[in-house]
Amino acid sequence: MAARVLIVEDEQIVAADLESKLRRMGHKVVGITASGEEAVRLADQVRPELVLMDIQLQGQMSGIEAAKKIQRNTAAQIVFVTAYAGVFLRDPTQMQPPGMCVSKPFSQYELQAALDAVVRKSVRNV
């Protein structure tokens, strides 16, 4: 099942890699941004079904805070893509809204498995 995806990633090379992987999987990338503030604005405009969100971003807003606002405003599913997955292990309440986490570096298989799980969860909640 193809999804409309917003990529929120401050490392340009990682964002380009994510975009390429998503397109090969058949998903539609509806936007790419490097800051939490812009992610919230962009999500309101493009209404993604899924957001791939880094934790450390440009600007004042963290990925966790941006994810909460995007989830509240659009109900998009969130997949955190981060090198700081330990944040969620130390304090699982940080992953609010509940979502998935893919640790950098990641393979296309790991990304696909996380997206499939989120899409299945989304379909069950409809």
In sequence order, what DSSP letters do the residues of 39-84 get, joined into one string?
HHHHHHHH--SEEEE-SS-BSSS-HHHHHHHHHHHH--EEEEEES-
Q: How many CB atoms lie within 10 A of CB 6?
A: 25
- Half-sphere exposure at residue 36, Cβ-oriented, CA atoms within 13 angstroms: 17
Kindly give the pairing relationship between strand 50-53 and strand 4-8.
Answer: parallel
pTM of the model: 0.85
CB 37 within 8 A of CB 63: no
CB 31 within 8 A of CB 42: yes
- The domains of the chain, with CATH numbers, are 4-93 (3.40.50.2300)
pLDDT tens, the chain, 126 aa long? 688 999 999 999 999 999 999 999 999 999 999 999 999 999 999 999 999 999 889 999 999 899 999 999 999 999 988 775 555 555 555 555 556 677 788 888 888 888 888 777 655 454
